[in-house]
Amino acid sequence: MRPILKPRVMNSIKKQKTKLALFASGTGSNVFNIITHFNNSESIEVALVLSNKATAGALNHAQNAGIQSQHFNRDDFFESNNVLELLKTENIDYVILAGFLWKIPQNILSHFENKILNVHPSLLPKYGGKGMYGHHVHNAVLLHKEKETGITIHVVNDKYDDGAIIAQAKCVIAEDETLETLQKKISKLEKENFPTTIEQFIKNN
């Protein structure tokens, strides 16, 4: 009689993907880029998109991609565990701030210690801190006649734009640079670098 072969356990267990939750407050260009980047990934997926604005374009990108999305208010975020419980229910592994303007509360910081990443549109520590986002950053860069600027991808802690820097990418500022042309340069850097840096950061952890 031939011996009964035991099935290989590894073949019967499908490896769970690392799940990302994206937070955004605006049009969601970074959300779109991240969703697109991980669309066919075998190891990482965007599982949830959240916004503090019901009309945020980021929510539309999620819906178009068939990804769960939800809007929350200040009480949900700062005065309760509602957002944290949603993240836990969805088994989220990493939180990505993709154009999100609110400071992350301590309950979420503690649960996702060293697992929250943000992209900032300057070369930190320059032009960071409260109120420094989007066009405010670009205007300051142009006002101070900087020769270069760029983006910084960093771990989020309890201070604005203060966590450990993971990566930076630079661009030269032309003499005739305008707010519009600089925004395009920064957007291009974010598209080229943010999704790949997220992927590498996860692989290294």
Instruction: Verify that 105 and 149 share a domain, yes or no.
Output: no
Give the active site residue among 61, 111, 120, 144: 120
172-187, pLDDT tens digit by residue?
Answer: 999 999 999 999 999 9
Instruction: Give residues with Cβ within 8 angstroms of 22, minimum separation 6.
Output: 30, 31, 34, 35, 46, 48, 49, 50, 58, 62, 96, 98
**Total of domains in the chain:** 2
138-164, pLDDT tens digit by residue?
Answer: 999 999 999 999 999 999 999 999 999
181 located within any domain:
yes
10 located within any domain:
no
Rounded-to-integer distance, Cα 64 and Cα 89, Å? 22
The enclosing H or E element of 179 equals helix 179-203
Range of the domain at 165: 120-194
* pLDDT at position 173: 97
Is the dihedral angle over the CA atoms 115, 29, 52, 160 positive or is it negative?
positive
Instruction: Verify that 109 and 43 share a domain, yes or no.
Output: yes
89-135, pLDDT tens digit by residue?
Answer: 999 999 999 999 999 999 999 999 999 999 999 999 999 999 999 99
2 located within any domain:
no
CATH code, domain carrying 83: 3.40.50.170
* pLDDT at position 172: 98
Instruction: Verify that 124 and 169 share a domain, yes or no.
Output: yes
- Residue 116 is which amino acid? I
**Are the beta carbons of 47 and 92 closer than 8 angstroms?**
yes
35-76, pLDDT tens digit by residue?
Answer: 999 999 999 999 999 999 999 999 999 999 999 999 999 999
**61: annotated active-site residue:** no
| Helix orientation angle between 134-143 and 179-203, rounded to the nearest 10 degrees | 120
Which of 85, 113, 141 represents a domain boundary (last residue)? 113
Instruction: Verify that 79 and 51 share a domain, yes or no.
Output: yes
Residue 122 has what DSSP assignment? Answer: S
* pLDDT at position 93: 98
**Are the beta carbons of 164 and 120 closer than 8 angstroms?**
no
Rounded-to-integer distance, Cα 2 and Cα 141, Å? 76
* pLDDT at position 13: 52
Which of 50, 84, 113 represents a domain boundary (last residue)? 113
